Structure 1
Amino acid sequence: MSETDPPPYFQAHVFVCCNRRPEGHRRGSCAAKGSEALKDYMKARAKELGIPGIRVNQAGCLDRCEFGPAIVIYPEGIWYRAETREDVDEILQAHLVEGGRAHRLMLTERDVAKKG
């Protein structure tokens, strides 16, 4: 960030993959795994918790559906898999309230789809 850049509008941007592929697609899709409901819950829960300066957004394909429902949080670029509301609560608390990481739910460099 340059010293002449304006301050960020949000302190954190949370993108939840809500991509939907056709039923039976070899890569699956986050929407078929319940990501849309989890995104709605995450938005409502973040507001309930009063977490300042964040935005939870629906995203198209984040290219990690095999490991999803996939979530990525910027500016850090940390990736998570959230399958339940409890997972969402853990991510919100650990990452956005406490400033740490929900290590149990993190997607890492090992979680990359095989090409071909």
Structure 2
Amino acid sequence: MTRSADPAPYFRAHLFVCCNRRPDGHKRGSCAASGSETLRDYMKVRVKELGLRDIRVNMAGCLDRCEYGPTMVIYPDGVWYTIRTTADVDAVLEAHLVRGERVRHLMLPET
């Protein structure tokens, strides 16, 4: 909830990318073992290339959606995505952040 006396947000959106690493063979897997760190680094570069100065890409610990990994969430929208390739990252950045749309086939189910 925002209040009229609150300062303007410093960033329009925060992108949290799970970079949690569990031991190899863990039954839930882990986003880092699925390449999330490399995808996060790529995302940071692409955000700059797209001139999205009001967007912040952050590493997150476990986001508890491991079975869909690598996962990310965009706040304040609260929209969750699975990102497995650089093409997925591009699709999310260009649709969600540039055009204000959703990438339905990459969105995580609610439960």
- Where on the TM-score scale, by shorter chain, does this alignment land: which range? over 0.9
For 1:27-42, list aligned pairs within 5 A: 27-42=28-43
Q: How far apart, CA to CA, are the structure 2 residues paired with 1:51 and 1:10?
A: 10
Specify the alignment match of 2:94 in structure 1.
Answer: 93
Query: Taking structure 2 as the reference length, what is the TM-score of the superposition?
Result: 0.97
Q: How far apart, CA to CA, are the structure 1 residues paired with 2:64 and 2:10?
A: 26
For 1:49-60, list aligned pairs within 5 A: 49-60=50-61
Q: How far apart, CA to CA, are the structure 1 residues paired with 2:36 and 2:46?
A: 15
Amino acid at match of 1:71: M
Q: How far apart, CA to CA, are the structure 1 residues paired with 2:29 and 2:49?
A: 31
Describe the SS at the equivalent of 2:46.
helix
Establish whether residue 47 from structure 1 lines up as the match of residue 43 from structure 2. Answer: no
The alignment's C-alpha RMSD in Å is: 0.7
Describe the SS at the equivalent of 2:7.
coil
Deviations 1:61-105 (CA, angstroms, capped at 9, x unpaired): 000011010000000100000000000000000000001111110
1:58 CA drift (Å): 0.5
For 1:1-116, list aligned pairs within 5 A: 1-109=2-110, 112=111
Structure 2 gaps of 5+ residues are none
1:52 CA drift (Å): 2.9
Structure 1 gaps of 5+ residues are none
Q: How far apart, CA to CA, are the structure 2 residues paired with 1:72 and 1:17?
A: 9
Query: Taking structure 1 as the reference length, what is the TM-score of the superposition?
Result: 0.93
Amino acid at match of 1:51: L
Describe the SS at the equivalent of 1:63.
coil
